[in-house]
Structure 1
Amino acid sequence: MGLVLVAGAIAFEVMATLALRASHGLSRLGPSALVVVGYGTAFVLLALALKSLNVGPVYAVWSGVGTIGAFLGGVWLFDEPVRPATLIGVTLIVIGVVVMYLGGGMEQ
């Protein structure tokens, strides 16, 4: 169940981050409301997941996968550029998340 909560937290965090971009500095009501609801829900789900999972690996997965999700969403929704350095960064994030997961495990 903890991994399902982490997945939900990632989805809401990515949604909120993309809504933050769409809010134009929190000047648009709809996207701004999604920012508040999305981040609030993400933190609640993450807090619930941490009742049964180790914080280090969970945070690595949550932040790493969220970063990649926000990157992909930015490319897809906002036509943001994909550069070689960006792809190297994404690769390093994936490697880091895998190492944290394998090194610390997700289950207590």
Structure 2
Amino acid sequence: MDKKYDSQALLVNISTDNWLYTPVYASSNLNLIFFYTSTGKDTKYFEHFKEGNKSVFFVNGSSTQGEKLIDGEIKLEDSTRGLVSLKAYKKHLTTEASGKVVEQIQIQLQQNIS
């Protein structure tokens, strides 16, 4: 993926998904990886990270624009009981996953500022 974006880009991939759904019980174990670039460039790192290459080296191109590159891995476990549709359960997982990704990005940004 050499595609460049005009502005910030957040790329998320589900690397492992084990889930079970019935109308009265649903559970899931998801492994998510994410990559954030503040300028929309350098999305090539996400492809290496997504393929399981943990040894990704970020190269500083001496940019004066202060590009931020953030990556991470999140494990999401969920167990839901009660009457729930598959569509509603997928929406629930999406909401949980997006909240965790945003939380991790905020934590890493705060650590970089400190």
Report TM bin, short chain: 0.3 to 0.5
| Structure number with higher helix proportion | 1
With normalisation by structure 2, the TM-score equals 0.36
Quick check: which has more Rg, 1 or 2? 2
Considering Cα pairs closer than 8 Å and 6+ residues apart, tell me whether 1 or 2 has the greater RCO.
Answer: 1
Normalised by the length of structure 1, the TM-score is: 0.38
